[in-house]
Structure 1
Amino acid sequence: MKISYLAILVILAAGCKPQPQTAANPSPPSLPVTSLGSTSETTFQDYPASIQGTVNIEVRPQVSGLLDKIFVDEGSFVNAGQPLFMINEQPFRAALNNALATLHAAESSQANARLEVEKLTPLVQNKVVSEYQLKTAREAFNIATANIESAQASVSTARINLGYTLIKAPVSGYIGRLLKKQGSLVSPSDQTPLTDLSDVHEVHVYFSLGEKEFVNFKAQYPGETLKEKLKHLPPATLLLADNSEYPVKGSIDMIDGQFNSTTGAITLRASFPNKAGLLRSGNTGKLRLSLQHPDVILVPQQATTEMQDKIFVYTVSDSNKIKMSAITVSGQSGNNYLVKDGVKKGDRIVLSGIGSLQEGTLIHPEAASEKTTIAKN
């Protein structure tokens, strides 16, 4: 049978038509993966703080008068009992002399009253005079005795007021500004004191914690009671206004008895030695507390993602499929999270490139470089 030329061309064309090929599966993405280990870590928390001396006193006059002398200069150190100011003593010395004169007169009156009693006593016994006269003499003697006691009290008051004219330092410390000058009229009712006196051989550093911070604070340190927890607190560090560290460590020794109803915070106190006098009342700074985290797992922040107030990491299974795992963070150290729960030692996580990953994605794990090492086994 003869085949036409056209039929042959059709057969040849059909034989040359390319056959459809099956599309190749895409290879899994290569991502850096590391195995989590544990390490010991120390974290720090800073709190704004104010600094006060152990004793801060307003030096005020206790009597009114002209300020005659000033024995100290602003900023100078004084010892307890050292004279600071002198108020004109002449009116007070005159008042003392007047009180002494009144006392002497009262003593003379008492002596006369005693003589009268002694004179009338035998006369009454012999019935020369009436007993009424003796009773009157005895009452006069009692009145004279009372007048002496009153005069003695006036003398004591005058002596005290005279003593108040010399104002002495009640404690050792540093003098503040002198707000009154020599020749000024001073009074106990003045709104401003003569000066301030600060005992700063040791300083108290006050800082505050909010309610939530205070709950965390109590949970972080061992001990059943607050008193026991204070004993287990690590030494405190004081950061000065320029962020430099004060060279001596302090200790937290007081927790206020109640929260401030206005601020909702509670005040704590740390004490620092200040033998060199580097710190003064009114300074500000920061109180730094350290917290030890033994056997803790660190996860870089770049390996996490946040969704609905939760933090997730992508863990890698034995079959190299990823899974989103929520973690509980207990703190932060640099660029790492301290993980309390959600992952464990030995788990593998994806370190970077997690922006487009989905649950169950198959990946090709790559060993993390040394720069991405996050913990030591």
Structure 2
Amino acid sequence: MRKGTPIYNKLNLAPALLAGLLMIILNSCASSSAGPAPMANQTPSLPVVQLKQIDAATSRDYNAAIEGKVNVEIRPQVEGILDKIFVDEGAAVKKGQPLFKVNDRVYQEALSNAQANLMAAQANLDKAKIEVDRLAPLVKNNVVGEVQLKTAQSAEAAAKATVAQAEAMVSNAKINLGYTYITAPVDGYIGRIPYKVGSLVGRMETQALTVISDVSEVYAYFSFSEKDFLQFKEAYPGTTIREKLSHLPKVSLVLADNSVYQQEGTVETVDGQFDKTMGAISLRATFPNPNGELRTGATGKVRIPTTVENAVVVPQNATYELQDKVFVFVVGDSNKVASKPLLINGKSGNYYLVSGGVKGGDKIVYSGFDRLQDGAIIAPENISLDSLLKENPMR
């Protein structure tokens, strides 16, 4: 039976080895899983700011199109070959300054012909007067009949009418000849000149010779939505729109590069009716432009300052966006956080001016909420809103 003993020992060794390996694996898993457990139970320390209600200055921007106060299309009054161009594109011109010259040979000849016709008509009138003067004493002395005198007088009247007609033709020819010199009707800047010397120009052409813009002042046209217009009427005193406009503060012009034009403007007019297709009404702000920096066709934004009363000031750093809404994490009882959407009335610098969602005295998480979820508990680290406003003031 000695030969059987080793086999029995080998058979009993396998369960012991398996049990040992199993204990090692369980101990290993227990030790690895026990490692991060204390971290999961840690409460994150996050900065928290307490909100305040204040009267805050803000502004609204409205897209605007800029035009000179006078934009004049320069068109020829007569047809002909363009002989001369006296100015260049972009040049500053004064009222009465020559701009273009149309070939005038045809109009010179027309004037000469009209003057010759006037001379012939004047000669016929003189002849008719002589005939009347000759017949008048003869009729008086009953030498000839009165009918002859009346006939001569009628001929004189017809000659006078012919002279008047000839004089009008001369005047018209002079006007047409004068139209061959095209001068500036206003002070301003020359726009694009699409025609060159030798081009045939005339009144029937669809394209103007050029456009002169008087930009000593510029108009910025912008629009209010129906809601904006109703708020405007409620916000400012007065019984008429003109009275309400007089209480609007000075406005600024934000240029295409986001710089602010150095001259302030005034909102002067409101359109008489809403655009049905756009649901908006147009307004016009006037800006002085002494150095000619602004030109017709430019774009920008009209910035209207306003004051929001009892607004809750919320730092933008403390907010996040989700599906076109802006949220904050409000710290509640037991330091438990909950996300709340904001009703924003405007912006001032790096702050939202809020009228709903939070109120003065509420505490919100200022930063570090990237992985924060509703119901999480935090360890708040209080920071002062006044210190934030001092470091980054509203504007």
TM-score category of the 2 structures, normalised to the smaller one: 0.7 to 0.9
Q: Which amino acid aligns with 2:151?
A: T
Cα deviation for residue 213 of structure 1 reads 2.2
Equivalent residue in structure 2 for 1:103, among 100, 109, 118: 118
Match of 2:270 in 1: 255
Cα deviation for residue 334 of structure 1 reads 5.2
Q: Is the 8 A contact 2:50 2:363 kept in 1?
A: no
> 2:340 and 2:190 mapped to 1: Cα distance?
62
> 1:337 and 1:161 mapped to 2: Cα distance?
65
> 1:222 and 1:338 mapped to 2: Cα distance?
24
Cα deviation for residue 71 of structure 1 reads 0.9
User: Within 5 A, what are the aligned runs for 1:191-270?
Assistant: 191-270=206-285
Q: Which amino acid aligns with 2:292?
A: G
Cα deviation for residue 327 of structure 1 reads 8.5
> Which one has the bigger helix percentage?
2
Match of 1:169 in 2: 184
**Matching of residue 370 in structure 1 with residue 384 in structure 2:** yes
Secondary structure of the residue aligned to 1:134 is helix
Match of 2:363 in 1: 350
Residues 165-210 of structure 1: per-residue CA shift (max 9 Å, x gap):
0000111111112211111111111111111111111111111122
Secondary structure of the residue aligned to 2:257 is coil
> 1:102 and 1:64 mapped to 2: Cα distance?
23
Q: Is the 8 A contact 1:89 1:165 kept in 2?
A: yes
Q: Cα 1:370–1:311, aligned 2, differ >3 Å: closer, same or farther?
A: closer
Identity of aligned residues (%): 47
- Structure 1: unaligned runs, 5 residues or longer: 1-28
Cα deviation for residue 226 of structure 1 reads 1.3
Match of 1:83 in 2: 98
Q: RMSD of the TM alignment (CA)? A: 3.6
User: Normalising to structure 2: TM-score of the pair?
Assistant: 0.75
Q: Which amino acid aligns with 1:240?
A: L
Number of aligned residues: 343
Q: Is the 8 A contact 1:67 1:85 kept in 2?
A: yes
> 2:179 and 2:361 mapped to 1: Cα distance?
79
Cα deviation for residue 31 of structure 1 reads 9.6
Q: Cα 1:95–1:322, aligned 2, differ >3 Å: closer, same or farther?
A: closer
Cα deviation for residue 225 of structure 1 reads 2.0
Secondary structure of the residue aligned to 2:362 is strand
User: Within 5 A, what are the aligned runs for 1:71-150?
Assistant: 71-150=86-165
Q: Which amino acid aligns with 1:209?
A: F
Q: Is the 8 A contact 1:206 1:270 kept in 2?
A: yes
Residues 57-113 of structure 1: per-residue CA shift (max 9 Å, x gap):
111110011111111111111111000111111211111111111111111111111
Residues 258-299 of structure 1: per-residue CA shift (max 9 Å, x gap):
112222221111111111111111111111111123554435
Q: Is the 8 A contact 1:299 1:374 kept in 2?
A: no
Select between 85-94 and 329-338 the one with higher mean Cα deviation.
Answer: 329-338
Secondary structure of the residue aligned to 1:276 is coil
- Structure 2: unaligned runs, 5 residues or longer: 1-43, 391-395
> 1:355 and 1:109 mapped to 2: Cα distance?
108
> 1:350 and 1:141 mapped to 2: Cα distance?
105
